[in-house]
Amino acid sequence: MGVQFPLEAHWAYGSTAEYCIRIAGIRVQFSVGPPRNNSLRKLNAVGSFKTKIHYVSPMKDEMVDIVDENNKTLYKTSKKEAHDKGLLHRCVISEIINLKDEWLLFVPSEHKQDKHQYVSPIGGHVQAGESLEDALKREAFEEVGLEDYKFKFIGRGIYNRFVIGRRENHYFNLFEIYSDDKVVLSDETKDFKYFTKEEIKRLMKTDPKIFGGAFHFVYKNIYKKFKE
């Protein structure tokens, strides 16, 4: 028997009939009639679906590679342990730049780091054994719904801070994505805005608090173009 299932789907993957999504930290697999458009990001809307839920299970803790300061992999462990012990592990960060050379920055949701401040639109952990490019593509789809775009590696740096009750010791790997596609906001994002490079440089001097700590690190320690 199908049930009425109020659904806010922020990312999804699978075939047109079988989906697996994350809602409030719960992994849900369900079946539903094929959408009109095969792009699964079209599910990013509050709505109701009549569906049969096959199972609900807690998501397993993500595994990450622990690395040294030279970016050499040492061993793997859970993301939770990495944060609890302040162990250095990889993340991908990406800016999104449109054809007008405008930079898209996000304001994170209340439960995220740097809330009420502008940050890079894409940021997430590199899973154990995952390449940087695969991690970038996964995060770009999960967080903003982007699938077809050009990108470039910019640089890397170690960012270590204590925030929202945990030690984040991250080896940032910074990319730029070039796209004019409309992004699909996830539950991790509250708002967004486009900035020119000149506006970012000016605001970093006149109103630096509008930017989050991670973006300050990227701006000051990895990017060279802002120093030109």
Provide the domain limits for residue 36: 3-58
Provide the number of structural domains found in the chain: 2
The answer to whether residues 25 and 38 belong to one domain is yes
CB atoms within 10 A of CB 72: 9
The answer to whether residues 104 and 50 belong to one domain is no
The answer to whether residues 129 and 20 belong to one domain is no
Predicted model pTM: 0.73
Tens-place pLDDT, residues 107-143 = 988 877 778 899 999 999 999 999 999 999 999 998 8
pLDDT at 111: 79
C-alpha distances (whole Å) from 163 to each of 13, 112, 208, 214 are 31, 10, 19, 11
The answer to whether residues 53 and 82 belong to one domain is no
CATH number at residue 105: 3.90.79.10
